[in-house]
């Protein structure tokens, strides 16, 4: 067994971070310094560590664990997400004091699991990493003090999650039986036509179901709005972003054997189309912001399918780029949700009224986030969608592209409502506390908004990274500049 | 032409960068003066554009790689078709600032930010030579316009702004699909390069439909016009001015820049339909305008009619028609912009836009009525004004094409005269309601009405410099169009099969 420590420095770092938090959570309650005081620095160091290892390349553990451009791309995204979420949760009003260290430990373990997931290229390893990432999530969702809804959503997430992973495991056994291997690279060379190999295709469908659950793709999305609504705002920002990145990286890897025209690819396209349409139509009717974001994420899961089914390195790169855009946009919007709901309540549209006056930077950032989610230029959301459309057009799924375009038109209405309430409605609800207008809240929102805008105006560097990652999956040697 | 600095980029970027400066200013009067100065500097920055050499080439070209992997370029340039629109946009900005001097009572800073942002993005639309860059500017314009209507608009602003946003964005998502299709088929996003290529009829058929819908909504052509009266009536004066003067032009500019050169065979195929819709727009717009009691609504519906002349001229595919269309674009911008500013003037005095509440001004506001009269004459194409030049060219083009088309335009012109006379007579000599105490134009109003008035007479009496600028580009456009159209007709007999292909776009196309 080959084990190269230098390849997995970021993973080891996160493991140690999790262990440190575990020690703190087991220790004295008076233990100083408080976890919020040191963990942001720890997370920032983790981000730097990951960035510093972006060029790492190699295979280990009997070829089950591959460190390549794609995995490093997602690891950087995950580290960045973790850093933002740690900062965001540092003022979580609905978390009991004695549970803080435990909460962060679980967050860190989940992130560690997701980082492992980015590098797994073998189905059993993927399954293990996925479970490591999931168990922590099951525990943190109900951690919302004095909220019955939180417990309910926790139970929902566990039950749905258990069913989904059971399905995935069942599917895995079918794949193993039919194809005699669990390595993605070998699976890619096998026959995936339903008529030739029905058991394998059924197994793959079931296995993908586990990923779809994490991604909240139709019809595995039912947990999503409920869990967002029940979990605290800050926890929801984690659930909404990080596990999805994990699911996307696996789907991107597995998409290398999804050729256009295969039954399974068509199935993905159909699910994508349903996901966009159901997500957007359901979101139209929502009043609770987190439920709205939940349904919107169902729609976004559908958008990502457009890149996956195209069967080209560009398509995978577009999906990876869109995943990053999705991460940034959602972190931004959830940051604002958390800062507006200073008492940790669930927000409704009316809570945003007059935000431009009370917290102009938050309002401006919300506008950037909302327009990015719509896909309006010059934001990252637009570039992401544009890359998806361009990569998928003329590869057999033009109808899917058209559905994406039409869905973007539907989605305008509810995203515009966010903007409309923040900027054009004057009267706020008096009894609620004012939004957090501190420099910390503004700076966080402003920086994330700037990232969404800058990556929209100048997407080339990020996209070059993504395309190098996409090509690496197809075995095309790429320098990262062309 | 090399000025040692990127002229167009500076024109586009300056208002946006300057707009950010507004955030550091607190007092409302300072905001106004600052924006005024910015708009005047913007006019100065446009001076190098007068070095434009009247030929059919794109000039002041700037080209930088944007996203290499996807072939996106930051590619700007102007030709005879776009340079007048660019100048119009820049000229309208200071007028907008002046006409909102006392009109905007709240959130001045944001208002002026929106104005500047808007100018930047509209300039970008007219200068972009890369399809995606064009689309970016095209969409970016929506946000400030939405805010202008939704925040500073009238009582029904929420409905109007939402309608405007949803209509235009829904249309332009299809434009995005068309843009991507061009890239996949033509291999580039660069408009000049795509102009050199020819596409299959089936492709053109679909691309034309997708683009035409986006442009028709923006123009707006019947039956996609319903957002326009709502938006115009609710928008503040400056919003209406920008909407009428430059925003609607983006639609007709789209037809000229994309539909004719990129999809010539499909444009030819759909021309009868487009002409029919244009004629309906002309007559419908005029007839509805005749029945309005709200002056602003009247002018808004008259825009539907006037823009109908523009699209008619474009789809006649002859020199006179397209010349007329371009002139009408410019004229409509000047005249309707001025009319909306004048409605703003009178609204500040009477706080009503109803004709009944604004009657009998002739005695008390002679200067105002002079300008109104001039603009009204220009609006229905009275000889000696700019409206005449544009309209007569479209007429000539229409008669050249087909006598019936020419005849069908006539009621439109008559209706325009009827509604303009009706409203002008009432405003000048109707029974005074509250007009007795009103003061005539002040110095600021004099300035912002004199400038368009000068252009009305200049273009009306001596249009030749303008012809000199636009003619080479139009010649090239039409020559290329004819050549490509003929080539297509010879190469394939596709017209009948194309319509049967409706579902073929869904087919797997490996």
Contact (CB<8Å) B140/A367? no
Rounded CA-CA distance A369/B450 in Å is: 43
Quick one: closest CA in B to A480, which residue?
B69
Q: At what angle do helices B464-491 and B264-290 cross, to 10 degrees?
A: 130
* B403-433 confidence digits (pLDDT tens): 888 888 888 888 888 999 888 888 888 877 7
Measured between beta carbons, which residues in chain B are less than 8 angstroms from residue A261?
508, 510
Instruction: Residue A414: count other Cβ atoms within 10 Å of its Cβ.
Output: 21
pLDDT higher than 50, residue A480: no
Measured between beta carbons, which residues in chain A are less than 8 angstroms from residue B158?
420, 424
The alpha-carbon gap from A399 to the nearest alpha carbon of chain B, in Å, equals 5
* A27-55 confidence digits (pLDDT tens): 776 777 777 888 889 999 999 999 998 88
Contact (CB<8Å) B68/A482? yes
DSSP per-residue letters across B33-55: HHHHHHHHHHHHHTGGGGG---S
Structure tokens given for B198: 């020819």
* B44-81 confidence digits (pLDDT tens): 988 888 888 888 788 888 888 888 878 888 899 998 88
Measured between beta carbons, which residues in chain B are less than 8 angstroms from residue A389?
176-177, 180
Which residue carries 């500013």 as its tokens?
B341
Output the CA–CA distances (angstroms, integers) from residue A176 to A116, A117, A163, B79, in the order listed. 22, 20, 20, 64
The more confidently predicted of residues B490 and A142 is A142
Measured between beta carbons, which residues in chain A are less than 8 angstroms from residue B142?
376
* A155-186 confidence digits (pLDDT tens): 888 998 888 888 899 999 999 999 888 888 88
Rounded CA-CA distance B53/B226 in Å is: 40
CB distance B53 to B1 below 8 Å: yes
Alpha carbons within 13 angstroms on the beta-carbon side of residue B295 total 32
Substitution target in A377, A397, A453 with the highest count of B β-carbons within 10 Å is A377
The alpha-carbon gap from A382 to the nearest alpha carbon of chain B, in Å, equals 9
B500 reaches A (C-beta below 8 A): no
Of B143, B150, B166, Cβ closest to residue A424: B150
Contact (CB<8Å) B505/A402? yes
Contact (CB<8Å) B510/A408? no
CB distance A146 to A162 below 8 Å: no
Mean pLDDT of A291-317: 89
B448 reaches A (C-beta below 8 A): no
Q: Which residues of B, range 36-75, sit inside 8 Å of A by Cβ?
A: 65-70
Output the CA–CA distances (angstroms, integers) from residue A27 to A13, A20, A41, A434, B117, in the order listed. 21, 11, 21, 36, 56
* Continuous segment of H or E residues that includes residue A463: helix A460-473
A-to-B residue pairs, Cβ atoms closer than 8 angstroms: 104
Residue B377: name the closest of B410, B331, B343, B345 by CA.
B331
Instruction: Report chain B's C-alpha Rg in angstroms.
Output: 22
Contact (CB<8Å) A405/B176? yes
| B74 strand-pairing partners | B64
Of A398, A412, A482, Cβ closest to residue B166: A412
Contact (CB<8Å) B169/A412? yes
Measured between beta carbons, which residues in chain A are less than 8 angstroms from residue B110?
356
Instruction: Residue A127: count other Cβ atoms within 10 Å of its Cβ.
Output: 20
Contacts (Cβ under 8 Å, ≥6 apart) of B149: B157, B160, B161, B164, B231, B234, B235, B239
The alpha-carbon gap from A424 to the nearest alpha carbon of chain B, in Å, equals 5
Query: Could you give the 3-state DSSP secondary structure of residue A332?
Result: helix
| B76 strand-pairing partners | B62, B128
B152 reaches A (C-beta below 8 A): no
* B360-401 confidence digits (pLDDT tens): 888 888 888 899 999 999 988 888 888 888 888 998 898 888
Contact (CB<8Å) B506/A398? yes
Of A260, A405, A467, Cβ closest to residue B177: A405
Rounded CA-CA distance A143/A98 in Å is: 11
CA A342 from centre of chain: 24
Rounded CA-CA distance B334/B313 in Å is: 19
Which DSSP state fits B130?
B
CA B44 from centre of chain: 23
In this predicted structure, what is the pLDDT of residue B496? 46
| B62 strand-pairing partners | B76
The alpha-carbon gap from A65 to the nearest alpha carbon of chain B, in Å, equals 29
The alpha-carbon gap from B80 to the nearest alpha carbon of chain A, in Å, equals 28
Q: Which residues of B, range 122-141, sit inside 8 Å of A by Cβ?
A: 132, 135-137, 139-140
Mean pLDDT of A357-377: 88
In this predicted structure, what is the pLDDT of residue A1? 65
The alpha-carbon gap from B74 to the nearest alpha carbon of chain A, in Å, equals 11
What is the percent of chain B with per-residue pLDDT over 70, rounded to a whole number? 95
* Continuous segment of H or E residues that includes residue B62: strand B59-67
Contacts (Cβ under 8 Å, ≥6 apart) of B420: B302, B376, B377, B379, B380
Of B70, B151, B507, Cβ closest to residue A390: B70
Substitution target in B131, B172, B177, B234 with the highest count of A β-carbons within 10 Å is B177
Rounded CA-CA distance A365/A363 in Å is: 5
Structure tokens given for B153: 């608009």
pLDDT higher than 90, residue A330: yes
Of the pLDDT bands very low, low, confident and very high (cuts 50, 70, 90), residue A447 is very high
pTM above 0.95, yes or no: no
Rounded CA-CA distance B72/A456 in Å is: 13
Instruction: Report chain A's C-alpha Rg in angstroms.
Output: 21
Of B67, B139, B508, Cβ closest to residue A459: B67
Contact (CB<8Å) B140/A261? no
B3 reaches A (C-beta below 8 A): no
Contacts (Cβ under 8 Å, ≥6 apart) of B425: none
CB distance B177 to B196 below 8 Å: no
What's the length of chain A? 482
In this predicted structure, what is the pLDDT of residue B491? 63
* Continuous segment of H or E residues that includes residue A159: helix A148-179
Quick one: closest CA in B to A398, which residue?
B506
* B319-343 confidence digits (pLDDT tens): 888 999 998 898 998 999 999 988 8
Residue A458: name the closest of A470, A468, A450, A446 by CA.
A450
Measured between beta carbons, which residues in chain A are less than 8 angstroms from residue B173?
405-406, 408-409
CB distance B121 to B137 below 8 Å: yes
What is the percent of chain B with per-residue pLDDT over 90, rounded to a whole number? 13
* B170-217 confidence digits (pLDDT tens): 888 888 888 888 888 888 888 888 888 888 888 888 889 989 998 999
Rounded CA-CA distance B212/B209 in Å is: 5
ipTM of the complex: 0.85
pLDDT higher than 90, residue B125: yes
In this predicted structure, what is the pLDDT of residue A479? 43
Output the CA–CA distances (angstroms, integers) from residue B392 to B275, B309, B320, B343, B443, in the order listed. 17, 10, 9, 27, 35
């Amino acid at each position: 067994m080959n084990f190269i420590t230098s390849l997995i420095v970021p993973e080891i770092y996160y493991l140690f971070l999790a262990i440190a938090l575990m020690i703190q959570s087991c220790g004295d309650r008076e233990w100083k310094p408080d976890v919020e005081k040191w963990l942001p620095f720890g997370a920032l160091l983790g981000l730097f560590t990951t960035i510093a290892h972006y060029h790492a390349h190699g295979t280990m553990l009997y070829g089950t664990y591959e460190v390549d451009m794609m995995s490093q791309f997602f690891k950087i995204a995950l580290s960045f997400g973790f850093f933002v979420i740690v900062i965001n949760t540092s003022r979580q009003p609905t978390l009991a004091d004695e549970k803080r260290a435990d909460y962060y430990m679980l967050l860190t373990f989940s992130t560690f699991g997701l980082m492992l997931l980015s590098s797994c290229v073998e189905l059993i390893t993927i399954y293990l990493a996925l479970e490591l990432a999931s168990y922590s999530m099951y525990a943190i969702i109900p951690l919302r003090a004095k909220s019955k809804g939180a417990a309910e959503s926790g139970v929902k997430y566990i039950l749905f999650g258990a069913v989904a992973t059971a399905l995935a495991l069942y599917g895995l056994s079918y794949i193993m039986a039919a194809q005699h291997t669990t390595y993605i690279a070998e699976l890619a060379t096998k026959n995936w036509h339903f008529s030739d190999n029905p058991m394998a295709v059924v197994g793959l469908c079931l296995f993908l179901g586990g990923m779809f659950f994490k991604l909240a793709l139709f019809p595995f999305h039912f947990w999503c709005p409920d869990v967002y609504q029940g979990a605290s705002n800050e926890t929801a920002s984690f659930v909404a972003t990080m596990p999805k990145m994990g699911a996307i990286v696996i789907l991107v890897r597995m998409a290398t054997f999804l050729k256009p025209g295969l039954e399974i690819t068509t199935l993905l396209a159909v699910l994508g189309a349903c996901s966009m349409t159901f997500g957007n139509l359901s979101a139209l009717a929502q009043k609770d912001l987190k439920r709205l974001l939940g349904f919107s994420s169902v729609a976004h899961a559908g958008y990502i399918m457009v890149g996956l089914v195209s069967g080209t390195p560009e398509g995978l790169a577009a999906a990876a780029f869109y995943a990053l855009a999705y991460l940034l946009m959602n972190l931004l919007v959830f940051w604002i949700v958390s800062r507006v709901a200073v008492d940790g309540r669930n927000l409704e549209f009316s809570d945003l009224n007059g935000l431009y006056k009370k917290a102009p930077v938050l309002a401006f950032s919300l506008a950037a986030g909302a327009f990015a989610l719509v896909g309006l230029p010059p934001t990252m959301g637009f570039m992401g969608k544009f890359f998806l459309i361009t990569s998928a057009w003329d590869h057999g799924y033009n109808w899917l592209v058209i559905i994406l375009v039409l869905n973007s038109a539907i989605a305008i209405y509810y995203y515009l409502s966010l903007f409309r309430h923040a900027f054009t409605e004057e009267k706020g609800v008096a009894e609620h506390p004012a939004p957090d207008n501190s420099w910390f809240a503004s700076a966080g929102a402003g920086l994330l908004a700037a990232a969404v805008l800058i990556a929209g105006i100048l997407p080339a560097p990020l996209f070059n990274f993504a395309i190098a990652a996409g090509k690496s999956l197809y075995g095309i040697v790429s320098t990262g500049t062309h | 032409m090399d000025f040692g600095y990127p002229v167009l980029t500076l024109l586009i970027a300056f208002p946006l960068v300057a707009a950010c400066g507004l955030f550091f200013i607190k007092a409302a009067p300072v905001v106004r003066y600052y924006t005024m100065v910015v708009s005047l500097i913007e006019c100065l920055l446009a001076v190098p554009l007068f070095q434009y050499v009247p030929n059919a080439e794109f000039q002041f070209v700037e080209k930088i790689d944007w996203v290499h992997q996807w072939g996106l370029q930051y590619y700007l340039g102007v030709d005879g078709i776009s340079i007048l629109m660019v100048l119009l946009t820049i000229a309208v900005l200071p007028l907008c600032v002046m006409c909102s001097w006392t009109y905007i009572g709240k959130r001045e800073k944001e208002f002026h930010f929106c104005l500047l942002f808007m100018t930047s993005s509209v300039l970008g639309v007219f200068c972009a030579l890369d399809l995606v860059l064009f689309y970016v500017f095209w969409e970016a314009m929506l946000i400030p316009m939405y805010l202008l209507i939704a925040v500073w608009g009238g009582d029904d602003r929420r409905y109007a702004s939402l309608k405007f946003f949803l209509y235009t964005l829904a249309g332009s998502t299809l434009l995005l699909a068309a843009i991507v299709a061009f890239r996949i088929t033509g291999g580039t996003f660069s408009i000049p390069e795509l102009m050199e290529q020819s596409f299959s009829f089936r492709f053109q058929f679909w691309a034309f439909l997708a683009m035409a819908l986006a442009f028709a909504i923006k123009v707006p052509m019947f039956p996609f016009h319903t957002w326009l009266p709502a938006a115009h009536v609710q928008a503040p004066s400056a919003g209406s001015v920008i909407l009428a003067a430059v925003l609607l032009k983006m639609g007709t500019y789209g037809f000229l820049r994309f539909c004719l050169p990129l999809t010539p065979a499909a444009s030819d195929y759909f021309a009868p339909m487009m002409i029919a819709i244009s004629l309906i727009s002309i007559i419908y717009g005029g007839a509805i305008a005749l029945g309005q009691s709200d002056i602003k609504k009247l002018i808004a519906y008259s825009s539907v009619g006037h823009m109908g002349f523009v699209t008619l001229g474009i789809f006649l595919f002859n020199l006179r028609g397209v010349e007329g269309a371009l002139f009408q674009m410019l004229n409509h911008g000047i005249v309707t912009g001025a009319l909306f500013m004048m409605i703003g003037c009178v609204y500040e005095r009477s706080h009503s836009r109803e004709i009944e509440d604004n009657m009998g001004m002739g005695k008390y506001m002679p200067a105002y009525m002079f300008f109104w009269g001039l603009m009204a004459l220009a609006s229905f194409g009275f000889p000696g004004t700019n409206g005449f030049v544009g309209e007569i060219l479209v007429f000539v083009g229409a008669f050249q094409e087909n006598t019936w088309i020419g005849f069908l335009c006539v009621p439109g012109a008559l209706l325009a005269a009827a509604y303009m006379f009706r409203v002008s007579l009432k405003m000048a000599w109707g029974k005074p309601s509250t007009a007795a105490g009103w003061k005539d134009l002040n110095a600021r109003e004099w300035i912002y009405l004199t400038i368009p008035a000068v252009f009305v007479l200049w273009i009306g009496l001596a249009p030749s410099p303008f012809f000199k600028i636009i003619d080479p580009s139009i010649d090239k456009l039409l020559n290329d169009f004819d050549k490509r159209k003929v080539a297509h007709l010879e190469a394939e007999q596709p017209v009948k099969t194309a319509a049967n292909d409706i579902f073929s776009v869904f087919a797997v196309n490996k």
